[in-house]
Chain A
Amino acid sequence: MIKIENLIVKYKNLIALDVRDLQFEEGVAYGVVGENGAGKTTLFKSISNIITNYEGNIYMDDKLVKKNNSVLKNVGLVLDGMSVYKDRSGWFNIRYFGKLRECLDESYAKELAQDLDIYAVLDRPVKTYSYGMQKKLILLIAILNKPKYLILDEPFRGLDFETVKWFKNYLLKLKDEGTTLLISSHVRNDLESLCQKVHILSHGKIIDFLDLEEESKTLIRLIDTTNNVRFIEIMKACEFNFEVRDSKIRASIEQASWAKVQEQASVENITIIEMSKTSSLDGRMN
Chain B
Amino acid sequence: MNAMIIFKMEFYKFFNDKKYMIIAMVLGFSNLIFTLQLYNGLTNLYNNHYYSGSGFGGISTLTFFISFIFLLVYPFHALSIDYKNNVMALMIASGVNRTKLYFAKIGATMIASFLLMLIIIVIPVFVASLFYGEVSRIGSMLDRLISIDYWLGDVDGISPFLHLLSSIISYASVIVIIYTATIFTKGTSKTVLIFLGLIIVANIIMSTFLTPILQLDAYYDPTLAFMCDLVGNIFKIVVFGFLSLRQLNIQSL
State the A residues within 8 Å of B (CB).
45, 48-53, 69-73, 75, 77, 79, 81-88, 92, 95-97, 99-102, 138, 141
Query: B85 in the interface, Cβ–Cβ < 8 Å?
Result: yes
Query: B145 in the interface, Cβ–Cβ < 8 Å?
Result: no
- Which 5 pairs across A and B sit closest by C-beta, in order of nearness? A83-B86, A72-B95, A73-B95, A48-B93, A77-B93
CA distance A34 to B250 in the complex (A): 27
For the complex formed, measure the closest distance between the CB of B15 and the CB atoms of chain A, giving whole angstroms.
11
For the complex formed, measure the closest distance between the CB of A149 and the CB atoms of chain B, giving whole angstroms.
11
Q: Decide: A99 near B94, CB < 8 A? Known: A50-B253, A52-B250, A84-B85.
A: no
CB-CB under 8 A from A81, the residues of chain B are 86
CA distance A69 to B96 in the complex (A): 6
CB-CB under 8 A from B253, the residues of chain A are 50-51
Query: B223 in the interface, Cβ–Cβ < 8 Å?
Result: no
CA distance A158 to B71 in the complex (A): 41
Contact of B89 among A50, A53, A87, A96 (CB under 8 A): A50
Q: Classify the secondary structure of B's interface with A.
A: helix
Given A50-B252, A82-B89, A85-B81, 5 additional A-B pairs, CB 8 A = A52-B250, A53-B250, A82-B90, A100-B94, A138-B90
Query: B219 in the interface, Cβ–Cβ < 8 Å?
Result: no
For the complex formed, measure the closest distance between the CB of B87 and the CB atoms of chain A, giving whole angstroms.
6
A99: nearest chain-B partner, CB-CB:
B9
B86: nearest chain-A partner, CB-CB:
A83
CB-CB under 8 A from B6, the residues of chain A are 100
Q: How many residues in B have their beta carbons less than 8 Å from beta carbons of A?
A: 28
CA distance A50 to B90 in the complex (A): 8
For the complex formed, measure the closest distance between the CB of A105 and the CB atoms of chain B, giving whole angstroms.
15
Contact of A52 among B81, B87, B96, B249 (CB under 8 A): B249
Contact of B5 among A49, A85, A95, A102 (CB under 8 A): A102
Query: B46 in the interface, Cβ–Cβ < 8 Å?
Result: no
For the complex formed, measure the closest distance between the CB of B19 and the CB atoms of chain A, giving whole angstroms.
7
A93: nearest chain-B partner, CB-CB:
B87
CB-CB under 8 A from B1, the residues of chain A are 69-70, 73, 100, 102
CA distance A245 to B136 in the complex (A): 94
CB-CB under 8 A from B63, the residues of chain A are none
Contact of B86 among A45, A48, A82, A141 (CB under 8 A): A82
Decide: A101 and B85 in contact? CB cutoff 8 A.
Answer: no
A-contact 0/1 string along B79-109, CB 8 Å cutoff: 0010001110111111111100000000000
CA distance A99 to B16 in the complex (A): 14
CA distance A250 to B197 in the complex (A): 65
Contact of B92 among A49, A84, A86 (CB under 8 A): A49
CA distance A263 to B9 in the complex (A): 73
Query: B12 in the interface, Cβ–Cβ < 8 Å?
Result: yes
Decide: B96 and A100 in contact? CB cutoff 8 A.
Answer: yes
B248: nearest chain-A partner, CB-CB:
A52
CB-CB under 8 A from A79, the residues of chain B are 89
